[in-house]
Amino acid sequence: MNGFPGFALRRTVGTLATLLAISVVVYVVFYVTPGNVAQITCGPRCSPVQVQQVADQLRLDDPLYTRYWHFLQGLVIGQDYSTGASVQHCPAPCLGLSYQSDQQVTELILAKLPVSLSLVSGAMVMWLILGVGTGVLSAWRRGRLSERVLTGITLAGVATPVFVIGLVLMIVICGELELLPFPQYVNLTDDPEQWAWNLLLPWLSLALVEAAAFARLTRASMLETLAEDHIRTFRAYGVGERSVIGRHALRGAFAPVIALNANTVGSAVGGAVLTETLFGLPGVGRELVHAVDVVDLPVVVGTVLVIGFFVVIANAVADVLYAVADRRVVLT
Amino acid sequence: MSLVEVRDLSVGFGGLRAVDGLSFSLAKGAALALVGESGSGKSTVASALLGLHRGTGARVGGSVEVAGVDVQRASDDELRRLRGARAAMVFQDPLSSLDPYYAIGDQIAEVYRVHNRVSRRAARARAVGVLDRVGIQDAGRRSRSRPHEFSGGMRQRALIAMALACEPDLLIADEPTTALDVTVQAQILDLLHVLREETGTGLLLVTHDVGVAAGNADEILVMRHGRMVEQGPVADVLGGPAQPYTRQLLGAVPRVDVPRTGDLRVDAPRGVTPGVDSGPAPGSAPGPAPGPAGGATSAGSVPGGSVPGGSVSRGSVPADVVLEAVGLRREFGRGKHAFAAVDDVSLTVRRGETLGIVGESGSGKTTLGRMLVGLLEPTAGRILPGGGVRPDVQMVFQDPVSSLNPRRTVGESVADPLRARGTGTRPFGRSPERTGEEARIRGRVRELLERVGLEGAHYDRYPHEFSGGQRQRVGIARALAADPRVIVCDEPVSALDVTTQAQVVALLDELRRELGLALVFVAHDLAVVRQVSDHVAVMRRGRIVEYGPTDEVYGAPQDPYTRQLLAAVPALDPAVAAARRATRRAARREPAAM
Amino acid sequence: MSDVLIASRAPGADLSVPGASGARQFWRRLRAQRAALVAAGAVAALVLVALAAPLLTAVEGQDPTTYHPDLVDSARGGVPVGPFGGAGGEHWLGVEPQTGRDLFARLVYGARVSLGVALAATVVQIVIGVAVGVAAALGTHWADQLLSRFTDVIVAMPLMIMSLALLAIVPSSFPRPVLVALVIGLIAWGNIAKIVRAQTLTLKGLDHVAAARLSGWGGWRIARRELLPGLAAPVITYAAILVPQNITVEAALSFLGVGVKPPTPSWGQMLTAADVWYQAAPQYLLLPAGALFVTVLALTVLGDGVRTALDPRAASRLRVGTGRRREAASEGSGGTDPEGPGGAEPEGPGGAERPGGAERGGAV
């Protein structure tokens, strides 16, 4: 595969540029809002003196690009904050200080990150297995009753919002049937079994909706591949239907599925926010909702940047995988 | 017992009867060509031989027996054992006919393992063996490549290798060379020929190209609308066709070895209604306005006799130059990927003359054409007169589907140049009266439509209501509406059937003579170019390798590439075809780039 | 390609619809799909309910904001008094727990908010997406680079997260439903811009556009006549995907308490507290959840139908975009040299391009 290293390099540079662009957009959007930014950042109970302190730290008197540069410096090399008399150092990926909770945003998010990562990665495994499996099955059984039933189920899945599925699952499984306890997050390192057991329901709620989208895509791509000329070739050479579908048609669905997965990670973090809120899991998403509620600006900006970071990385990884999966793609 | 026995075969899709009561047989080791224009049902027959219509909803009647298997009655398993093992198919488009995701060697091995109980390794070795057999160099390494890493000719070789893998008794080749350049086509056909000589495989060749059939089959079966028109030994059918349709078909095939005649009118009368109203004649090249169209097109008239503004027959004094290109160069891509599609091309187009530009794909001929009309800016060089989009140089496009806006009536499309000019003064030669302008534009468009053999009432129809040939006529009318001095025709007939093709070519030639137009005729088909051109330029890799009067270039080609091209053209006469094959075989010292 | 063949299959071969015969064909193809027809009926009914909300509640004699403390049992934490959550002739579907507001009125007014916000957001998305996509496709190389990279950044931003965050900082004086629609619209136009850009590039490479240039028309007229009508089909198709997606996002935001805020009713917002009450007043959970489900389902099925009706082949082309292939063809060797003579199909299998969000339903 010629030029693959070059392609990977270009993608990496592109990813970094995208991350930078996102940080600019986010910074500009949130720190150039109407109203007193220092007051908003500090919180409603701050005294004028404290507000002035915050304004100094954010360098609100400087021009915008200087302020952004300052912010970027914090991200890359860290910076010092003086709160009143004491000075605290905020190390390298410094996302600022939450004046309302008097905590460093980076620490705050790092503490919640394992929960969200557990949730999304587990759900991803589920939606890929469920979705692709259902898709393959309905392409295999095309034209029969079982396909119509599967199509109906996936359509219903696509049409149900995450929080509705989550609500219903929680009420039915935890509340009525009492098959599972109401989820309580347990650290993976503390007790892997309890970790998985407690996350089962959140995983399922998050995965079901996404799985439906995958099932639709897998089915559509396989049917599309089945209509292509090369399938006709193998049929004309006596290759059996099992091999035609399992080997050739499925291979054609690979690349679209990878591409959709990248898209899905973006929407799944949105779903994760809902799932965490619904099940009371202490993840980044719930932190964001809380920060939005109390208008804790540094935390909002920090979580948005961190989540954006993960989504962009996921996209980049998918891009590379996609290029490997679809050898026909011209590397640009 | 014959290898293939087809009795009263009919295949229907929905309301359409694609094949209707066809019978033929093919002896072991013999070669039969199914020839017909598109829609004749020839490919459907090929599919029916392998029972590929099973389960598609098509209605198949009659009986088909291939290598002793009754295809209609065979079980799915029996059919699977027939396919590939006893009868193998070579498809038209080699790129889409191979799985893009797997290595070519693996695909051949997969097919081989379906029919033979052997290990993976043995199947792989077999794949390399057959790839080597079909002339793929370094077969072991190349067998690990995916189809897109192969050139078109190599892909077709790989498909043939797949067909050979199980040593079938019958090869079914469905338009095996249609997607290929003429030199590559010759190589593939020669390969099939050699393989057949060596293995004694029977061949069913499905093709639209009578020339391909002539050189590669013993018998020929001409099809039309799903029925047989005529069948017999190649020499008999082509030498003395019994049926009118066969005669018409053969008459329409352009010959590369016959010098251009004065008149290209096709025998079969078309619905060309001469403009009878007393309005001004189409176009207004300087000089006296020609009379109604009918006068200038009557069959048998002296070549160039009624061309306004003087004679333009070959060999006459150079007429005035209407378009000149000097040192044209066009690059595509940036940086490392930059390459020159056209490189240092100079040419001259004279009034009333046709310049043919011929070349294989990738030769830069389309890029050159687009630069001549101003759709592409040259990277270097200049075009005289003027620059940018020039209204006096118009274009007729290749693709009859995409060249007309599907959402506008054809009349509106044809009227575009008239409206864009604002007043439409020039075509009428009198001052515009604003009130009557719309009516005049419509009237003028009607005239143009009638002039190209359509009806004035077609103004309000949409493109999808027309056939490919009719759409090309609309395209020609649109080009004429701008009242051009030069029309660049970019493969104007390559998407058309051979009879339609002949009609459109005749129309273009007729208009040239009648209106004193200059034509630039860009095409890959050497025979068509010979039929229409006064001068011809042969292009290869962006450069003109040979340029001169048509008969000189075709009669005594100087450049080796031109000679190679001409030797590759399929001949209608089987004897000539055999002779050319011998020439090619002798000339195959230099390994041709495929 | 024979004349007969072209004539008989040309309609399907057209890139897409509108045009005099196109619209009729669209309706014919849409009507042929029973599921899409049922879905269209459901959507029409929902729109009607949303429009007639004041009328319907007037007939019932209630309104969505009046508290009825007498109808809830404050001793039991605010459970509606009476069987079936207080449903009856007065309150058709019962009342809300704690506040005692009329559930039917809140539901039909919720439809207003839901559909209104989603449609408005879709309009914003389409306007921005089409403008950016067309500008990128027709602009200079650098304009295209700039706009495309910006679009990439926009696509990379997770919609829910960005809108959540944005809704936090906007002053609360701004009318909330308008705000939600604007925020969704301003964030999620990336995919439509990408699709429009690819389609415009495809159209730009078609010969009839070249012919229009040769006719001597100016750029604006060519864009309006030859390009924009060709964008209608993909834009309509994608809009049909966006509407249910936007409904889900609005409901999710309101569910989290940052979207539409009380007293304005919204389905998502009604579900916020529903898990607490599901035993005492199940309809408080089931009604808004069911309304959401039916709406999104109907819109999704309708969207599928529209896509199929607009052009069965373009439906797949939307994902397998021909854009890149066209680019490659025209920038590659000798322009659009033909593959060969005769009946050579101009359509190849094309290099598959990454599908945009086109296949996604309203998953949030």
Region of poorest pLDDT, from B5-9, B290-294, C244-248: B290-294
User: CA of A243: which chain B residue's CA is closest?
Assistant: B110
Query: Nearest 10 degrees: CA dihedral of C290, C291, C296, C302?
Result: 110
User: Is it the case that residue A167 has pLDDT exceeding 80?
Assistant: yes
State mean pLDDT over A222-229.
Answer: 86
By Cβ distance, the residue of B85, B93, B101 closest to A229 is B93
CA atoms within 13 A on the CB side of A111: 9
Chain C, 135 to 174: residues with Cβ < 8 Å from chain A are: 149-150, 152-153, 156-162, 164-171
* Residues in chain C within 8 Å Cβ distance of A274: 160, 252, 255-256, 364
Query: Judging by beta carbons within 10 Å of its beta carbon (0-12, 13-18, 19+), is residue B250 exposed, middle or buried?
Result: middle
Residue-wise pLDDT tens digits, B517-545? 999 999 999 999 998 999 999 999 999 99
Residue-wise pLDDT tens digits, B130-187? 999 888 889 999 999 888 888 888 999 999 999 999 999 999 999 988 878 888 899 8
Residue A292, chain C, CB below 8 Å: the answer is yes
C-alpha–C-alpha distance, residues B113 and B125, integer Å: 12
User: CA of C203: which chain B residue's CA is closest?
Assistant: B402
C-alpha–C-alpha distance, residues B286 and B435, integer Å: 28
In Å, how far is C355's CA from the nearest CA of chain A? Answer: 6
In Å, how far is B385's CA from the nearest CA of chain C? Answer: 16
Report how many Cβ contacts below 8 Å link chain A to chain B: 73
Q: What is the pLDDT, as a whole number, of residue A9? A: 84
Q: What is the pLDDT, as a whole number, of residue B535? A: 93
In contact, B300 and B263? CB cutoff 8 Å: yes
Q: B342 falls in which pLDDT band (50, 70, 90)?
A: very high
> What percentage of residues in chain B have a pLDDT greater than 70?
85
* Residues in chain C within 8 Å Cβ distance of B364: 333-335
The amino acid at residue C201 is L
Residue B505, chain C, CB below 8 Å: the answer is no
Q: Is B58 left (phi over 0), alpha (psi -120 to 50) or beta?
A: beta
> Which residues of chain C are under the pLDDT cut of 50?
1-20, 314-364
User: Is it the case that residue B435 has pLDDT exceeding 60?
Assistant: no
Determine, for residues A237 and B114 on separate chains, whether the beta-carbon distance falls below 8 Å. yes
C-alpha–C-alpha distance, residues C71 and C97, integer Å: 9
* Residues in chain C within 8 Å Cβ distance of A216: 359, 361
Chain A, 232 to 291: residues with Cβ < 8 Å from chain C are: 255-256, 259-260, 263-264, 266-267, 269-271, 273-274, 277-278, 288-289, 291
Nearest to C235 by CA among C269, C270, C203, C267: C203
Residue-wise pLDDT tens digits, A9-25? 888 888 888 888 888 88
**DSSP symbol at B302:** P
In Å, how far is B52's CA from the nearest CA of chain A? Answer: 7
- φ, ψ dihedrals at A98, nearest 5°: -90, 105
C-alpha–C-alpha distance, residues B262 and B298, integer Å: 12
Buried-exposed string A20-53: b where 16+ CB fall within 10 A, e elsewhere: ebbbebbbeebbebeeebbebbbbeebeeebbeb
By Cβ distance, the residue of B405, B478, B497 closest to C2 is B497
Chain B, 434 to 473: residues with Cβ < 8 Å from chain C are: 462-471
Q: What is the pLDDT, as a whole number, of residue B351? A: 87
Determine, for residues B98 and A251 on separate chains, whether the beta-carbon distance falls below 8 Å. no
Residues 6+ apart with CB under 8 A from A156: A212, C293, C297
In Å, how far is C205's CA from the nearest CA of chain A? Answer: 19
* Residues in chain A within 8 Å Cβ distance of B84: 236-239
Secondary structure class of C80 (helix, strand, coil): strand
* Residues in chain B within 8 Å Cβ distance of C213: 375, 389
C-alpha–C-alpha distance, residues A258 and A323, integer Å: 10
Chain A, 26 to 45: residues with Cβ < 8 Å from chain C are: 29-30, 33-35, 40
Distances (CA, A) of A172 to A176, A178, A205, B450, B574: 5, 8, 12, 75, 81
Secondary structure class of A169 (helix, strand, coil): helix
By Cβ distance, the residue of C300, C324, C363 closest to A210 is C363
Q: What is the pLDDT, as a whole number, of residue C343? A: 30
Chain C, 178 to 237: residues with Cβ < 8 Å from chain B are: 206-208, 210-217, 225-226, 229-230
Secondary structure class of C227 (helix, strand, coil): helix
In Å, how far is B101's CA from the nearest CA of chain C? Answer: 12
Secondary structure class of B378 (helix, strand, coil): coil
Determine, for residues A230 and B81 on separate chains, whether the beta-carbon distance falls below 8 Å. no
Distances (CA, A) of A20 to A76, B469, C156, C191: 12, 55, 12, 21
What is the residue whose two structure tokens read 């590379």?
A: A320
Q: B430 falls in which pLDDT band (50, 70, 90)?
A: very low
By Cβ distance, the residue of C271, C354, C359 closest to A213 is C359
Residues 6+ apart with CB under 8 A from B209: B35, B178, B570, C341, C342
Q: What is the pLDDT, as a whole number, of residue C325? A: 31
C-alpha–C-alpha distance, residues C358 and C364, integer Å: 15
Buried-exposed string B525-541: b where 16+ CB fall within 10 A, e elsewhere: bbbbbbbbbbbbbbbbb
By Cβ distance, the residue of A230, A247, A327 closest to B97 is A230
User: How far is CA B446 from its chain centroid?
Assistant: 30
- Better pLDDT: C217 or B488: B488
- The tokens describing B137, both together, are 């160099």
Q: What is the pLDDT, as a whole number, of residue B388? A: 54
Q: B434 falls in which pLDDT band (50, 70, 90)?
A: low
Determine, for residues A322 and C157 on separate chains, whether the beta-carbon distance falls below 8 Å. no
In contact, A41 and A302? CB cutoff 8 Å: no
Determine, for residues A260 and C360 on separate chains, whether the beta-carbon distance falls below 8 Å. yes
Query: Nearest 10 degrees: CA dihedral of B575, B581, B585, B586?
Result: 50
> What percentage of residues in chain A have a pLDDT greater than 70?
95
Determine, for residues C166 and A263 on separate chains, whether the beta-carbon distance falls below 8 Å. no
Region of poorest pLDDT, from B54-63, B130-139, B279-288, C244-253: B279-288
Chain B, 383 to 412: residues with Cβ < 8 Å from chain C are: 389, 391, 394-395, 397-408
Nearest to A126 by CA among A199, A185, A192: A199
Chain C, 316 to 355: residues with Cβ < 8 Å from chain B are: 331-346, 348-349
By Cβ distance, the residue of A235, A238, A247 closest to B85 is A238
C-alpha–C-alpha distance, residues B500 and B522, integer Å: 18
* Residues in chain C within 8 Å Cβ distance of B496: 1
C-alpha–C-alpha distance, residues C194 and B345, integer Å: 38
- State the complex-level ipTM: 0.85
Query: Nearest 10 degrees: CA dihedral of B219, B189, B90, A252?
Result: -160
CB atoms under 10 Å from CB of B199, counted, come to: 15
User: CA of A162: which chain C residue's CA is closest?
Assistant: C364
Residue A172, chain C, CB below 8 Å: the answer is no
Nearest to B384 by CA among B304, B435, B323, B458: B323
Nearest to C198 by CA among C246, C242, C243, C238: C238
C-alpha–C-alpha distance, residues B446 and A214, integer Å: 54
Nearest to C278 by CA among C68, C66, C80: C80
In Å, how far is C317's CA from the nearest CA of chain B? Answer: 16
User: How far is CA B336 from its chain centroid?
Assistant: 34
C-alpha–C-alpha distance, residues B173 and C162, integer Å: 58
Q: What is the pLDDT, as a whole number, of residue A327? A: 62
* Residues in chain C within 8 Å Cβ distance of B468: 1-3, 6
Q: A328 falls in which pLDDT band (50, 70, 90)?
A: low
Taking chain A, what is the end-to-end CA distance rounded to the nearest angstrom? 13
By Cβ distance, the residue of A237, A239, A328 closest to B100 is A328
- The tokens describing B102, both together, are 């797997």
What is the residue whose two structure tokens read 């605290």?
A: A88
Question: What secondary structure does DSSP assign to B315-342, as a single string?
Answer: TSPP--EEEEEEEEEEEESSGGG-EEEE
In contact, B61 and B10? CB cutoff 8 Å: yes
Q: What is the pLDDT, as a whole number, of residue C1? A: 32
The winner for highest mean pLDDT among A76-85, A133-142, B101-110 is: B101-110
User: Is it the case that residue B271 has pLDDT exceeding 50?
Assistant: no
Helical ranges in B278-433 per DSSP H: 293-297, 365-373, 410-420, 425-428
In contact, A180 and A174? CB cutoff 8 Å: yes
Taking chain C, what is the end-to-end CA distance rounded to the nearest angstrom? 47
Residue B377, chain C, CB below 8 Å: the answer is no
Q: B265 falls in which pLDDT band (50, 70, 90)?
A: low
In Å, how far is C19's CA from the nearest CA of chain A? Answer: 28
Residues 6+ apart with CB under 8 A from B460: B409, B411
- The tokens describing C3, both together, are 């004349």
Nearest to A158 by CA among A213, A207, A202: A213
Residue-wise pLDDT tens digits, B180-231? 888 889 989 999 999 998 888 999 999 999 989 988 999 999 999 999 999 9
Q: Which chains touch C (3 or more CB pairs under 8 A)?
A: A, B
Cross-strand partners of B350? B321
Chain B, 295 to 354: residues with Cβ < 8 Å from chain A are: none
Q: B22 falls in which pLDDT band (50, 70, 90)?
A: very high
C-alpha–C-alpha distance, residues A95 and A104, integer Å: 8
Determine, for residues A238 and B52 on separate chains, whether the beta-carbon distance falls below 8 Å. no
Determine, for residues B81 and A238 on separate chains, whether the beta-carbon distance falls below 8 Å. yes
User: Is it the case that residue B246 has pLDDT exceeding 50?
Assistant: yes
Residue-wise pLDDT tens digits, B82-126? 998 999 999 888 788 998 888 999 999 999 999 999 999 999 999
